[in-house]
Amino acid sequence: MKNRIFLALMLVLSLSLFLAACGGETEEENAGANENEEANVDYQVAMVTDEGGVDDKSFNQSAWEGIKAWGEENGLSKGAGIDYAQSDETADYMPNITRFVRDEYDLTFGVGFKLKEDLEKAAEQFPDSNFGLIDEEIDAPNAVSLRFKEEQGSFLVGVAAAMKTTTNKLGFVGGIDSPLIKKFESGFIAGAKSINPNVEVKVQYAESFTDPAKGKLIATNMYDSGVDVIYHAAGGTGNGVFNQAKDMKQNNPDREIWVIGVDRDQYDEGEIGEHNVTLTSMVKRVDVAVQDVINRGMEGEFPGGEQLEYGLEEDAIAVAATNEDAMTEEIISAVEEWKEKILNGEVEIPQTVDELEEFVNSL
């Protein structure tokens, strides 16, 4: 009897040890799985704005929206895996970049061509960190350039503007006169003149991306001279263009007066009571580009040393049709037709003043 009891106890003890061992092994496996799951999102991303700020309703904001969307997909939030630093002046660029490097962020974006010099210095000083420069080329093995085919979208909104104008006078307001903004200007004029070679396009640069008052003054002069559609590529300065158009629309609701937004769909910027002065916007999907680079980096395939370019083919350039009252079916149809011509290689869009002159002469 005692032997039977002893054997039973031994069996129970053995079974308990076996189950405990299995349980321990399962916990270890689960712990390993959890570690692997965390490792998949153990990738930190930050960005440094130019002086326009993260809420510039333009490409700084679009870049942050892309990073934030990627962060949400991977359980990250501001200050916990993703972050941005606001630059109020050029002197802020390098300290902001350096802070993210020291905080061990894997990838830091600089938004805008004005950060080129500081980002190049950082890439050289911190070879173990990765960097991305938006809107300009950077030559470093641990940095990637993200550029866009702005001339494509600008051409298409030029088509829309030429079809919408009733005065045959259009305006272009640029921020800083630079090769980048010349792409916007050249594409816009080329698109407009492809519809009507006789359309007149007035061009003026504010020499600032952060001066709404200057933008408003330029817009006032243009609208007073008979221009009825202005395309701005001026960041925060463009807010002044919208303000002037809305003021004039409020004073004379029957007047046909329009603004073409840039970088993001700026439909909301044009709201004035029951009216909206935003004809369309040239949407530059900076968010698409930054998410592409982030995902490559997270997968261990960071495109260091490469010059990436995003356009219509990559769905990174688009034309907004949010204002259904302004963007008629006829205009949308024409925009789509020209889009197909661009994608098919039938149209070579100018990017410089010299190329624009040659393009116009060929019409």
pLDDT tens digits for 283-336?
A: 999 999 999 999 999 999 999 999 999 999 999 999 999 999 999 999 999 999
d(C-alpha 211, C-alpha 208), whole Å:
6
φ and ψ at 167, to 5 degrees?
A: -110, -10
What one-letter code names the amino acid at 189?
Answer: I
Average pLDDT, the chain: 90
Q: Where are the alpha helices (DSSP H) in the chain?
A: 2-39, 59-73, 93-102, 116-125, 150-164, 179-195, 212-224, 238-251, 286-298, 329-343, 353-361
What confidence tier does 355 reach under pLDDT thresholds 50, 70, 90?
A: very high
Model confidence over 259-290: pLDDT tens digits?
A: 999 999 999 999 999 999 999 999 999 999 99
Provide the CATH topology of domain 150-284+328-361: Rossmann fold (3.40.50)
Q: CATH 3.40.50.2300 in the chain, residues?
A: 45-148+288-297+304-309, 150-284+328-361
What confidence tier does 41 reach under pLDDT thresholds 50, 70, 90?
A: low
Please state the rounded mean pLDDT for residues 343-357.
Answer: 96
Provide the CATH topology of domain 45-148+288-297+304-309: Rossmann fold (3.40.50)
